[in-house]
Amino acid sequence: MSADAPLLEVEHLSVAFTTDAGTARAIEDVSFTLHSGETLGIVGESGSGKSMTAMAIMGILPKSAVVSGSIRLRGRELVGLSDDELREVRGNEIAIVFQDALTALNPVATVGEQLIEAVRVHRPDTSREQRRARAIELLTLVGIPAPEKRIERYPHEFSGGMRQRVMIAMSIANEPDLLIADEPTTALDVTVQAQVLEVLREVQRRTGTTVVVITHDLGVVAGIADRVIVMYAGGVVEAADVDPLFYETGHPYTSGLLASLPRLDRRSSREERLYQIPGQPPIATKWPEGCRFAPRCAHAVAGRCDVVVPPPVNVGGTHTVSCVRVGEWREEVV
């Protein structure tokens, strides 16, 4: 395999569930590529399919999920692997950090015991002393002060932000090639969020791990991602490097997300109400015909936008936009 071959290639990935209300097409035809050392942001409203995409990559979807398409890690197909094979991939190559660090940590074991165990699983040939030293090193890497002391403490003795750091330390104990952080900062206040993102960035810098950050907040991706995919109703509506996404926004949905961001540079921001995209996202058992954003889109045109799901259109470089009116909707005053 050549050195610049992608680390992760997701192609036409779909995940569906049979429910009482019919088939829920949770994600449909999701494709993206991620290169080693890159940080990818996956952004979208609640229910857009961000976590499903992460769970499919991790191989931790519920048994009832029907998966199609392809997920290749360093060229190896992950869709269709056995549970044992997937467990091995998770143990060595991919790790995930969830939003809720308190439920993910064992409340009756010290942070040190849990970290040392994570190191032992990955490096069974090490001595207890070596594992302890590695655990301290990992806590240092994620910015936990006085790690030799903190290692003896229980998760409830840590603040929310510190627990999230511990989770990041646990997840990198096996030196994964790919680290997925699903809403790692949502439960935290703004200052602590910024610190946790800085920790992820530092981990990325120091270990070279490729990172996927999942968030509903475009502000978070602005600070951390190299590349961004925007998801809406189970599909990717726009994919771009971070600067073009913000400065050459191609999709009306992305534009709506941007307009709803609080901006420090707007002087009268205190009086101004933040923009909200009108309407509600559709549900997975009843996607609208054609572009799924069309019913909420000020630029939608009957007979064009409600016919087929728009395929991605390349608008330059690696920037793609799934909108049949790309290039024309911006000219419109609504």
Ligand X SMILES: Nc1ncnc2c1ncn2[C@@H]1O[C@H](COP(=O)(O)OP(=O)(O)OP(=O)(O)O)[C@@H](O)[C@H]1O
Window 215-244: residues binding ligand X (CB under 6 A)? 216
Question: Of the listed pieces 47-55, 89-97, 125-133, 310-318, which binds ligand X according to CB under 6 A?
Answer: 47-55
Closest approach of Cβ 244 to ligand X, in Å?
A: 23
* Residue closer to ligand X (CB basis): 7 or 43: 43
251 binds, among ligand X, Mg ion, none (CB under 5 to 8 A by kind): none
Closest approach of Cβ 127 to Mg ion, in Å?
A: 39
End-to-end C-alpha distance for the chain, whole angstroms: 50
Dihedral (Cα; 258, 263, 268, 269), 10-degree rounding: 80
Please tell me whether residue 19 binds ligand X under the rule CB under 6 A. Answer: yes
Distance between CA atoms of residues 186 and 182, nearest Å: 9
Pairing of β 39-43 and β 210-215: parallel
* Residue closer to Mg ion (CB basis): 115 or 214: 214
216 binds, among Mg ion, ligand X, none (CB under 5 to 8 A by kind): ligand X
Closest approach of Cβ 282 to ligand X, in Å?
A: 9
Q: Which of 3, 15, 22, 107 is nearest to 62 (CA)?
A: 15
184 binds, among Mg ion, ligand X, none (CB under 5 to 8 A by kind): none
DSSP-assigned states of every residue in 20-36: TTEEEEEEEEEEEEE-T
* Residue closer to ligand X (CB basis): 37 or 295: 295
Please tell me whether residue 41 binds ligand X under the rule CB under 6 A. Answer: no
**Which residues, including other chains, have CB under 8 Å from residue 212's CB and lie 6 or more apart?**
34, 39, 40, 41, 42, 54, 57, 178, 179, 180, 181
* Residue closer to ligand X (CB basis): 96 or 151: 96
Burial 20-29 (b: 16+ CB within 10 A, else e): eeeebbbbbb
Please pick, from the candidates 8, 10, 13, 26, the single residue that binds ligand X as defined by CB under 6 A.
Answer: 26
Please count the other Cβ atoms lying within 10 Å of the Cβ belonging to residue 310: 22
Per-residue binding letters, 141-180, with ligand X (x by CB under 6 A): ----------------------------------------
Please give the helix or strand (H or E) that residue 56 lies within, else none. helix 50-58
Window 270-309: residues binding ligand X (CB under 6 A)? 284
Question: Residue 331: helix, strand or coil by DSSP?
Answer: helix
Q: Which of 162, 192, 214 is nearest to 30 (CA)?
A: 214
Q: What is the largest CA-CA distance in the chain?
A: 69
Residues that bind Mg ion (CB under 5 A): 51
256 binds, among Mg ion, ligand X, none (CB under 5 to 8 A by kind): none
Per-residue binding letters, 102-141, with ligand X (x by CB under 6 A): ----------------------------------------
**Which residues, including other chains, have CB under 8 Å from residue 131's CB and lie 6 or more apart?**
116, 119, 120, 123
Question: Of the listed pieces 41-49, 173-181, 236-244, 305-313, which binds ligand X according to CB under 6 A?
Answer: 41-49
24 binds, among ligand X, Mg ion, none (CB under 5 to 8 A by kind): ligand X
201 binds, among Mg ion, ligand X, none (CB under 5 to 8 A by kind): none
56 with 71: CB under 8 angstroms?
A: yes
* Residue closer to ligand X (CB basis): 279 or 316: 279
Sign of CA dihedral 47, 248, 30, 226: negative
217 with 206: CB under 8 angstroms?
A: no
Binding residues for ligand X (CB under 6 A): 17, 19, 24, 26, 44, 46-52, 62, 216, 284
